[in-house]
Copies of this chain bind each other. A is one copy, B any other.
Amino acid sequence: MSYDLVVIGGGPAGYVGALRAAQLGKKVACVEWERAGGTCLNWGCIPTKALLKSAEFYHQMHRAEEFGFKIGKIEFDFEKIMLRSRGVSDQMAKGIEYLFRSKKVDYFVGRGQVTSDKKVVVTAADGSKQTLETKHILLATGCTPKTLPGLKPDGKKIFSSREILAIREKPESIIILGAGAIGIEFAHFLHAFGTKVTIVEMMPRILPVEDEEVSDLLGKIFVKNGIEVLTNTKVEKTEITPKGVKITTSPAAEGGKAGTFEASTLLVAIGVQANTEGLFGPGVAPTLDRGFLTVNDRYQTSIPGVYAAGDIIGPPWLAHVASYEAIEAVEGLYVPGRTPHKVTIFPGCTYCSPQVASIGLTEKKAKEKGLKYKIGKFPYKASGRAVAVGEPEGFVKLIVGEPHGEILGAHIIGSEATELIAELGLAITLEATLDEIHSTIHSHPTLSEMIAEAVLAARGGALHI
């Protein structure tokens, strides 16, 4: 079998790159060892959003009286909630498999290995092998969760973000190591259904990459809701006990906590590592940097003709960045005269409640860079739409460069933050000025009006606060 492009990896970089190349008329194969859609679709972004929807739903139902309702006993079926989430993943994965067929991408289920710059060997689960000849290769095998010594995920007491999506019973209690987006989303989800949650984070704040004000507010809300949050705290020792897990902590900085904490389960959410094991045959050794593939401006690895995109080329390990890189790599390869873009700015989202979304610099980063800036802030509680729908918690915060008024960063915590951030992404791409955003009429009553108000705040005064 002979191809223009063989893609190894069927996640947001791999399948998107394969589809784009097929759209451009190329003969393409996509090799995936598990299921089309990769981690994102099967064990990440998509199934967690289904779970978080159920959490939101459950929380909402408890507010029924406020909106004029009386309802009987509310019971949840944890297994059903988990199974719905699996069903959503299954439906989306089938969708990708359908796209492969309709766009004529050959889909191989097996482990792909690059044996030369023109050859990929696919080993199926039964050990049978196929060799694919190809003009080019795109590597998009992604990452897997990092583990800790002595805490190998067993799917019973110890989980990574993957195994925990396969549980069918609600854990009685859980210790979550790492307060990034993944840790925070699982903390929110499990707490919503009554699991006792303890979060342990070495950094001073949960969601440490977010703006300090956003992280602070979310931290306060989590604590108020009854989640135990240990920041500035590191894990010294972990033990598996008959009942579950026991950890011993010490302060990583002032405010950290020394103590022992026990729970029936533990989730390790401390980052990811590159999936390169077995990816290269003898003599094939592209340059790596801390385990990740190094690529040039055209997404080419150190081996000519072999490209890479997505998590495998390093942070930020986000599905939307991965897809974007894959499209750029493929268009750079096949569209004459096309210079691929590299990713410089991208949004990040956490789908807890309230939602968190951001793009660009935090205030702290702007300060560290010595940039001149001003702040435009607007609270949800002053938005008519937020009050009408009963979601008055949160704020929009813009970091605005001086003297030109460009958006350096945007930070939103509150209802629908993950959708609202899109406008600010476009504003940054197009280098919109404050005046241009203000002179864009925002619908009333919407949450997006808060963006226009935050612009006014940065210009000297919002109207509605």
Interface residues of A (CB under 8 A from B): 12, 16, 19-20, 23, 40-41, 45-47, 49-50, 53-54, 57-58, 60-61, 64, 66-78, 80-81, 84, 88, 91-92, 95, 99, 318-321, 323-324, 327, 341, 343, 345-349, 357, 382, 384-385, 387-390, 416, 418-423, 425-430, 432, 436-437, 439-449, 451, 460-461, 463-465
A23-B463, A53-B389, A69-B77 are known contacts; what are 4 more A-B pairs with Cβ within 8 Å?
A61-B69, A72-B72, A320-B444, A422-B448
Chain B residue with minimal CB distance to A349?
B443
With A440-B429, A443-B349, A446-B419 already in contact, the answer to whether A57 and B67 are too (CB < 8 A) is yes
Distance in Å from the Cβ of A317 to the closest Cβ of chain B? 12
Chain B residues contacting A425 (CB-CB under 8 Å) are 423, 440-443
CA distance A280 to B464 in the complex (A): 30
Q: Which residue of B lies closest to A385 (CB)?
A: B49
Contact yes or no, B347 A442, CB < 8 A: yes
| Chain B residues whose C-beta falls within 8 Å of the C-beta of A78 in the assembled complex | 68
Chain B residues contacting A432 (CB-CB under 8 Å) are 426, 430
**Is the CB–CB distance between A429 and B419 below 8 Å?**
no
Q: Which residue of B lies closest to A318 (CB)?
A: B444
Collect the chain B residues with CB atoms within 8 Å of residue A40's CB. Answer: 444
A415 (CB) vs chain B CBs: closest residue = B419
Whether A74 contacts B81 by the Cβ 8 Å rule is no
Residues of B within 8 A of A446 (CB): 349, 418-419, 422
Question: Contact: B61 with A382, CB < 8 Å?
Answer: no
Contact indicator A19/B429 (Cβ below 8 Å) = no
The answer on a CB contact under 8 Å between B57 and A441 is no
Q: Are A84 and B72 touching (Cβ within 8 A)?
A: no
